[in-house]
Structure 1
Amino acid sequence: MAYPTLRDWLFSVKTFAAAMLALYIGLAFELPRPYWAMATVYIVSNPFVGATRSKALYRALGTALGAAAAVLLVPPFVESPYLFSVIVALWTGTLLYLAVSDRTARSYVFMLAAYTMPIIALPSVMNPAGVFDLAISRTEEITLGIVCASIVGSSLFPSRLAPTIIERTDAWFRDAAFYATETLSGRIAGSAISGARQRLASTINGLELLLSQLAYDHTRPDVLARAHELRGRMQLLLPIMSSLADPLIALYNSGRQSWPEGLEALLADVIKWFNEPLPAVSEGYHPDASADALRERIAAMRPPAAALASWDGALLSNALWRMKQVVDVWQDCRSLRIIITREEGSWRPHFRHWRLGGTQRFYDRGIMLFATVSAGLAVVLACSLWISSGWNDGASAVTLAAVACCFFAALDEPAPMVFRFFLATGISVLVAGVYLFAVLPHVHDFPMLVILFAAPFILVGTLIPRPQFNMATVLVAVNTATFISIQDAYDANFLTFMNANLAGLAGLLYAYLWTRVTRPFGAELAASRLLRSSWADVALTASTLPIEDPRNLAARMLDRLMQLIPRLAATDDHRHPSIESFRDLRIGFNALDLRRLTGKLGGEAPAAIAHVLDGVRTYYESCVNRRKREPVPESLMRSIDAAVARVISQGLANAAAPTATSPTSARQLRDALHALIGLRLSLFPATLTSPTPPEPETAA
């Protein structure tokens, strides 16, 4: 394990100083539980100012919302304990559902409200008249911790979030360059490229939360907008590069002797350009001349209309068209990255497509509902066990069970993380017990308390910035501060301490067993549901049903693919689900393109294309109904070949009589041909090695 860096030590010292400040003020103002202010500092603190501010604001709002709900609901329902437990479960489940429905930092509001209400309400059933005072004091203590964490984090050596986002995008650029190099060299499978594909998707997914916190980092609105545009372009590169892979592989397999002159050199130069470093910040901004030169070479190599009648000519046209899109997207990514780093410069997008502009995200509502209902039922059952047992400290068990179920509800398999929560809490109980009964009796002033707290809390704090230790170390710090329960006067009772903390451990053990029993499915179930949902959307793209906004449909399909890729293991298999899922997305996008083009094409091509789309729809509906990927019927290949022949024939006729058509219709015919070739290669990847050339005269 690497030793903590200077930045880790600095963050830990700042967090400890803020925690001690909050504890001191809480003791000075004689708050009922000043240790909650100390614990809150560790909950909201983050190495970056923007993340700390956003988390602090949303925690304050969530706490206020949960506290208000407790004040409103405890008095009317306290005399009906079983009904009250149902009310608490409904509140927790509903707010938790809202939390998992939001993938930005704003979800913290609903998460806090979901479990703050039972934390305040359940202990109040023994003294319902005091629920208002409890809610007010808890809000005050948490607000104090939030203010201290925000002030110290912002004033003492503040660390901005923007450089970290740039570091992550730089890592994405390195992975993307490797991915492009492998793809353009004809290698689309293998553990290395599968791992790169997963890292690319994971980086894109992680940026969504970070960008939602960037607005709190004093980032200018225009730079923030460029950062969102960069993430959108990063998201597009994977499927576009995947669209280029199939025609390139087919050209590779057809033999290099049939390649047109200059293609191999073009590919080598594109690879070289992808691996060029970005200009240094000190260098002046200038247009990317390499991209312009590559586009000119691509345009010069585009085959004429007559050459499209051959399979190699159609493949080459498709590959060059996709390659231009790849060049456009990569240049957009490079330009946006330079502008964000320098915080200056204008941007004109090179990649433009009618599908751009969608904002819809994909949510598996079934899994989300199941997870939140499971959490609600856990609260109901835990309350019932508490009520029937008559255990005075049972409220602690129920509240910690609710917290654990809420924390990890969005995970595919929450049980292992709940068990880590249990272990971290057990460690906190031991540490708190040592301090409470062996150390604190010898402490007579606050400076001595700070000295005795410094070593363990600062050491633990150095691990908080590391993702692999973040959850465990935050829990140890927060729970230790809570279990010690610092007051203005020393008052410790061993039996009270053990009874209350054993209740909390029992609640976490119960939460672990509950999640293990009710949610044993793991990522396999989530991946299979994502696959079936993607098949249903592909069927929709090929159907005649109206689509309210094709751009939102395309955005939803792309977002779902980014969620699916990290759930699929790396493999050497060309038929692995991650590669198949890219093909599904390409089929859907090509079908959307054909739907849009069909009404603009004349002659016999629209009927042939409609027949292809109907075959695509029927096939994917069969996959959805049978809940597995079925073999693609050979009849669909024949339909695609026939449609290709119709489009080629119409293109040849237009080329022979140039005055009878417009350049726009010629471009539309070429776009339709590219979409049909993309469908054929995606649906029948075996034809990459043994293509059957479409013959216009026989198909007609």
Structure 2
Amino acid sequence: MTATRPSFLVRHADIIFSLKTFLAAVMTLLFALAMDLPRPYWALATVYIASQPLAGATRSKAFFRVAGTLIGACASVVLVPNLVNSPELLSLGLALWVGLCLYISLLDKTPRGYMFMLAGYTAALIGFPSVSEPSLIFDTAVSRSEEIILGILCASIVSTIVLPRSVGPAVSAQVDSWLARARKVSQQVLAGHGTDQATRELRLKLAADIVDLDMLSYHLAYDRNVSRDTPRWLRALRLRMLTLLPLLSSIADRLAALGEDARTSQPKLMALVDDLSRWIGSGMERDPADELRATISAQLPVLHGGSSWNEIMIVSLLMRMRELVDISQDCRALSQAIARGGRPDGARLMFRPEAGVAPVRHVDHGMALWSAGGAILAILMCCAFWILTGWADGASAPMMAAVGCSFFAQMDDPSVGLRNFAKWTLVSMIIVALYLFAILPGISNVEVLLVALAPPFLLFGLLIARPSTFFIGMILAANTASLMALQATYSADFASFANGGLTFFVGTEISTITILLARSVGAEWSVRRLMRKGWTALAFAAESRGNRDRAAFAGLMLNRIGLLAPRLAAMPDSKLSQIDSLRELRVGLNIVDLRRARHHLSPATLAAIDAMLDELAADFRRYEGGAMPGALLTRIDHALAEAMTETRDDARGDALIGLVGIRRGLFPDAAAYRPEHLSNAGSVAA
């Protein structure tokens, strides 16, 4: 019995979540009615908004929802009484508050951003309906806070006590799935298929999955069933996952550069490649890994001034293969540690990344400001309609504008989300109308009421439990609970219900049109913007001195690639989908490595490398896609020629590896480097 219970919980997780959420909703409604709270339906809606299938996720969202509600309530108490006599100023004040909070939330890519977004539209939900009775704003804000906190407490208690589902196993399962696909990609790369379009697309999908794993990992701190060390091992694993993708791209490039005849010209090297592929597929045990490292070290040729291009490429490939062994072994040990909540097996981790680097994520101040401006404009347009028409129930229009524009601000085209929001709210209104005017009038006690509410709300819980229908379920549950407006006594009025519904759709339609005209962009526009940000980052990396910033650069670039991947998948026929973003990441990492190696180089080599990097930075600042200028290739080859004359083995090796990586990344189809080609050319003009 004990052995089958976990599989039962996993197999029926959706049903269990739905039952638990309805139980929390029943508790909330009964407590709210017993406490004589003025709007118990707010508490009921909060349960479905705050509840998540994972216990840690419910607690983290609950915490941020409480904080956001209190901040928004305070803002409404400050704004409404002071500006109620100037409707235009009050509308502007609330709109600016929503815009400011939305701007901050879009800059914060963690679940904490939800707190700021909620603080914005909570002020609108409290403030706009209170315009007719500003003297009651404090009582309204307090009751709103009480009802939301009650809903959050009930949701958190039930999620924690009743068959809790920990975040830890979900993270572990996602990690295992990612690593399984990464092993498949690694074997495809080592088999010589790394440049195939299918392999490139799979690498992009892995980058996008890291972004999803980031969001899930934030909830670990709120899960009491997770070991204290698990977040630490997950951070270590994430850094290796980030490093693995450009590493595989680099190995694929080196194998492609050696060509198909490498099987006959370099039999030992290719036998080692096959051994590495078999080891990755067989489970990555420690003893074969040590043997692979020893074989790699034995095959490494020593670079010198007369080394051929082929020897340089072999050294680069072997060094990347050694990193692949270290990272693969560490990933296996760390994933096992996360799964069991202990320490990794073995004496120590093998891959030594830069220490002390916090995760770096893409932040777009321009888009955040644009989205906030669109929300402000939509709210003001709804307010203008409300004021000019004198519609008594017109407060619902700017309220819905604030909520809708906040929810869908991260979409390339928020108007699509707003349309769907309106569509599913219409479904909610049909359900509510059925209950208000056909079912509820015949109910005389709370027990029968709860039985009557069970069918739709249990269905909503099932929809929320599934990622593909989460959004639909949350809209249906929250809007059905809010629009039904359950009170201690039945007081439904069809005219009021219809009027409120009409106001909602007016607000949503005005918001949709405003956002469509002022804010919506296509996926291709967003892809170009993200790519341009990446090119600017490459220019910045070339201009910087690059001390211990390799991991930070990789994190930023891979986070952008993770944002690119789903957009590129949605537009397979676009020319942009043919651009290899991992190639640019490899170039950036080689730039950072080259900057770090510069302190041990001679003045002549330094001058050549700095001149090359300056030209590379200038080229990427005006880059729009396509081929790089041929003058940059000449600069790179001149820097290679100078680096070949270095007397220190470590300095020469580091410089050559970095320059080779840049050359192969930017000019993969260029002829092989030949130092004698530059022997009579002299110095390249500065």
Q: CA deviation at 1:230?
A: 1.3
Verify the 8 A CA contact 1:328 1:351 in the aligned structure 2: yes
Judging changes above 3 Å, is the alpha-carbon distance between structure 1 residues 450 and 308 closer, same or farther for their aligned structure 2 residues?
Answer: farther
> How far, CA to CA, are the matches of 2:230 and 2:25 in structure 1?
33
> How far, CA to CA, are the matches of 1:365 and 1:646 in structure 2?
41
Q: CA deviation at 1:459?
A: 2.0
Q: 1:227-266 residue pairs with structure 2 within 5 A? A: 227-253=234-260, 255-259=262-266, 261-266=267-272
SS of 1:362's partner is coil
SS of 2:622's partner is helix
Could you tell me which amino acid in structure 2 is paired with residue 244 of structure 1?
I
SS of 1:394's partner is coil
Match of 1:659 in 2: none
Pick one of 617, 628, 634 that aligns with 1:638.
634
Verify the 8 A CA contact 2:95 2:376 in the aligned structure 1: yes
Correspondence 1:676 to 2:659 = yes
> How far, CA to CA, are the matches of 1:430 and 1:237 in structure 2?
51
Could you tell me which amino acid in structure 2 is paired with residue 343 of structure 1?
G
Q: CA deviation at 1:697?
A: 5.1
> How far, CA to CA, are the matches of 1:644 and 1:433 in structure 2?
76
Match of 1:34 in 2: 40
Judging changes above 3 Å, is the alpha-carbon distance between structure 1 residues 578 and 32 closer, same or farther for their aligned structure 2 residues?
Answer: farther
Q: 1:306-325 residue pairs with structure 2 within 5 A? A: 306=304, 309-325=307-323
Write out per-residue CA displacement over residues 320-360 of structure 1, whole angstroms, 9 at most, x where no aligned residue: 11111222222221111111112112473322244872543
Could you tell me which amino acid in structure 1 is paired with residue 296 of structure 2?
I
Unaligned runs of at least 5 residues, structure 2: 1-9
> How far, CA to CA, are the matches of 1:246 and 1:639 in structure 2?
21
Judging changes above 3 Å, is the alpha-carbon distance between structure 1 residues 88 and 154 closer, same or farther for their aligned structure 2 residues?
Answer: same
Q: 1:288-327 residue pairs with structure 2 within 5 A? A: 288-306=286-304, 309-327=307-325
Match of 1:223 in 2: 230
Q: Which moved more, 1:78-87 or 1:342-351?
A: 342-351
> How far, CA to CA, are the matches of 2:629 and 2:612 in structure 1?
12
> How far, CA to CA, are the matches of 2:571 and 2:295 in structure 1?
35
Verify the 8 A CA contact 1:189 1:572 in the aligned structure 2: no
SS of 1:673's partner is helix
Q: CA deviation at 1:533?
A: 1.7
Judging changes above 3 Å, is the alpha-carbon distance between structure 1 residues 579 and 265 closer, same or farther for their aligned structure 2 residues?
Answer: farther
> How far, CA to CA, are the matches of 1:268 and 1:154 in structure 2?
49
Verify the 8 A CA contact 1:622 1:630 in the aligned structure 2: no
Correspondence 1:80 to 2:104 = no
> How far, CA to CA, are the matches of 1:242 and 1:234 in structure 2?
13
Verify the 8 A CA contact 1:358 1:553 in the aligned structure 2: no
Match of 1:589 in 2: 589
Q: Which moved more, 1:7-16 or 1:630-639?
A: 630-639
Match of 2:569 in 1: 569
> How far, CA to CA, are the matches of 2:401 and 2:248 in structure 1?
46
Correspondence 1:557 to 2:534 = no
Match of 1:528 in 2: 528
Could you tell me which amino acid in structure 1 is paired with residue 116 of structure 2?
F
- Counting aligned pairs with the same residue, the percent is 39
SS of 1:667's partner is helix
> How far, CA to CA, are the matches of 1:579 and 1:254 in structure 2?
27
Match of 1:691 in 2: 672
Correspondence 1:424 to 2:407 = no
> How far, CA to CA, are the matches of 1:613 and 1:503 in structure 2?
59
Match of 2:147 in 1: 141
Could you tell me which amino acid in structure 1 is paired with residue 562 of structure 2?
M
Judging changes above 3 Å, is the alpha-carbon distance between structure 1 residues 460 and 574 closer, same or farther for their aligned structure 2 residues?
Answer: closer
Write out per-residue CA displacement over residues 519-567 of structure 1, whole angstroms, 9 at most, x where no aligned residue: 3312222221221122122122223x56687354554334333333333
| Aligned pairs, number | 668
SS of 2:193's partner is coil
Cα-Cα RMSD: 2.3
Match of 2:448 in 1: 448
> How far, CA to CA, are the matches of 2:579 and 2:327 in structure 1?
21
Write out per-residue CA displacement over residues 629-683 of structure 1, whole angstroms, 9 at most, x where no aligned residue: 2532223223222322222233xxx4xxxxxxxxxx3122111111111111111
Judging changes above 3 Å, is the alpha-carbon distance between structure 1 residues 299 and 578 closer, same or farther for their aligned structure 2 residues?
Answer: farther
Could you tell me which amino acid in structure 1 is paired with residue 656 of structure 2?
L
Match of 1:657 in 2: none
Verify the 8 A CA contact 1:211 1:228 in the aligned structure 2: no
Q: Which moved more, 1:78-87 or 1:377-386?
A: 377-386
> How far, CA to CA, are the matches of 1:579 and 1:621 in structure 2?
17
Could you tell me which amino acid in structure 1 is paired with residue 339 of structure 2?
T
Write out per-residue CA displacement over residues 8-61 of structure 1, whole angstroms, 9 at most, x where no aligned residue: 111001101110111111111111111111111100011110000111111111
Q: 1:291-370 residue pairs with structure 2 within 5 A? A: 291-306=289-304, 309-346=307-344, 348-354=348-354, 357-370=357-370
Could you tell me which amino acid in structure 1 is paired with residue 658 of structure 2?
A
Q: CA deviation at 1:420?
A: 1.1
SS of 2:412's partner is coil
> How far, CA to CA, are the matches of 1:426 and 1:265 in structure 2?
64
Unaligned runs of at least 5 residues, structure 1: 279-286, 655-664
> How far, CA to CA, are the matches of 2:112 and 2:158 in structure 1?
23
Judging changes above 3 Å, is the alpha-carbon distance between structure 1 residues 189 and 554 closer, same or farther for their aligned structure 2 residues?
Answer: closer
Could you tell me which amino acid in structure 1 is paired with residue 343 of structure 2?
G
> How far, CA to CA, are the matches of 1:699 and 1:580 in structure 2?
33
Q: CA deviation at 1:573?
A: 10
> How far, CA to CA, are the matches of 2:239 and 2:573 in structure 1?
29
> How far, CA to CA, are the matches of 1:83 and 1:362 in structure 2?
35
Q: CA deviation at 1:471?
A: 0.5
Judging changes above 3 Å, is the alpha-carbon distance between structure 1 residues 548 and 297 closer, same or farther for their aligned structure 2 residues?
Answer: closer
Verify the 8 A CA contact 2:25 2:151 in the aligned structure 1: yes
Could you tell me which amino acid in structure 2 is paired with residue 241 of structure 1?
L
Could you tell me which amino acid in structure 2 is paired with residue 121 of structure 1?
G
SS of 1:649's partner is coil
SS of 1:186's partner is helix
Write out per-residue CA displacement over residues 546-594 of structure 1, whole angstroms, 9 at most, x where no aligned residue: 6687354554334333333333238999996565322222222212222
> How far, CA to CA, are the matches of 2:433 and 2:379 in structure 1?
28
